[in-house]
Amino acid sequence: MDFTFTEDQLLFQASTREFLTGEVTPARIRAGWESPDGRDPALWQQLAELGLTGITVAEEFGGLGMNELDFVLLAQECGYVALPEPLVNTALVSVPLLQQLGGELAASWLPRVATGEARVLAGIEQNLLVEDAHVADLLLLQHGDAWYALAPEQVELRRNESVDPSRRLYAVAIKPGAEPVASGQQAAALTLAALDRGALGCAAQALGLAQRMVDMAVSYSSDRQQFGKPIGSFQAVKHLMANVAVRLEYARAPVHRAACSVANAEAVASRAVSHAKLMACEAANLAAKHSIQVHGAMGYTWEVDLHIFMKKAWALANTWGDTAFHKGRIADYIFNDGAELGAGTTFR
């Protein structure tokens, strides 16, 4: 029983954090809102040079060959800066999908994902829309009981604007003539795995987003003076933030456990992911609710950066499985015969 991260994993987290907080500033995110496709090829290339686009790509294809557990702390850092680039979905969803599909598809695309030359993105019907489909050189798409690997010319995209201007969402229609790359049971397994990995990515980012919003509200409340003192010295304000800190503290371990479960393909992985996502997204939503309150009217403005993080948190809570889906998975387990509940069952 060892529930700690290695020194290497923690160092990688620290260096990634340093890079991301330095490069992915709110100003750069806002600049992305004004650009035609909302994405930042220069930043993507920087991420590739750090090995991050290929972090889960096998070493034989030029990647770092790391797993979900190695990546989960980095995904938290992506959340902390509200990284608009699709790094989390690439590392946790697209690359594992390619590796599961294997063969020529994996051999030809994975090396280019690792170098940053190509973007491979994935979508499942449960998500309604596909994030960043417009910049995908290859789209992995679940449709009905089949998966397709599609070039840009094989699809038609229809943009749907999100409350979060960083999120670029597309309805994707497959043009006639495409052949599935997986179907039947294999496709169903791929869909489940993609959903779990996508949800894990949301959960990890939600932890980072929550921490960021707490940090912003603490900082604001330490500076902002009313009644002759910082508003953060008032108990009513303190306790709002303390409540977030409590929920966040108890959301972390479930996310780390889920990452470990997914990495080891444990039987409990799907349940662990749903648990993690519910806890982490709830913490992030609470962070948003209390942080805007602490910011007062300033928090309701476009100008103050808080909404960059709030809107992402709101969106993540209902993507890669909405709360109904994830609560449903938990309820299906605990309210049925055969559930192992109570003390001593957590790590079975």
Q: For residue 181, list its beta bridge partners.
A: none
- Which of 69, 74, 113, 124 is the binder for other proteins (CB under 8 A)? 69
User: Between residues 265 and 341, which has the closer beta carbon with respect to other proteins?
Assistant: 341
The minimum distance between CB 258 and other proteins, in angstroms, equals 10
In whole angstroms, how far apart are CA 84 and each of 56, 139, 149, 194? 19, 18, 24, 20
Rounded Cα gap, residues 129 and 221, in angstroms: 38
User: Between residues 258 and 308, which has the closer beta carbon with respect to other proteins?
Assistant: 258
The minimum distance between CB 103 and other proteins, in angstroms, equals 31
Sequence-separated (6 or more) residues with CB below 8 Å from residue 319: 127, 131, 198, 202
- Which of 201, 232, 299, 321 is the binder for other proteins (CB under 8 A)? 232
* Residue whose entry in the numeric block shows the structure tokens 């913490």: 283
Task: State the virtual CA torsion across 228, 230, 231, 235 in degrees, nearest 10.
Answer: -100
- Which of 2, 104, 161, 179 is the binder for other proteins (CB under 8 A)? 2
If binding is defined by CB under 8 A, does position 3 make contact with other proteins? yes
**Residue 115: closest CA among 53, 166, 59, 171:** 53
DSSP 57: S
The minimum distance between CB 227 and other proteins, in angstroms, equals 13
Kindly report the CA angle at 214 between 212 and 220, in degrees rounded to 5? 100
If binding is defined by CB under 8 A, does position 334 make contact with other proteins? yes
Show contacts with other proteins in window 234-293 (CB under 8 A): 235, 237-239, 241-243, 245-246, 249-254, 256-257, 260-261, 275, 278-279
Q: Point out which residues bind other proteins (CB under 8 A).
A: 1-6, 69, 214, 218, 221-222, 229-230, 232-233, 235, 237-239, 241-243, 245-246, 249-254, 256-257, 260-261, 275, 278-279, 327, 330-331, 334-335, 339, 341-347
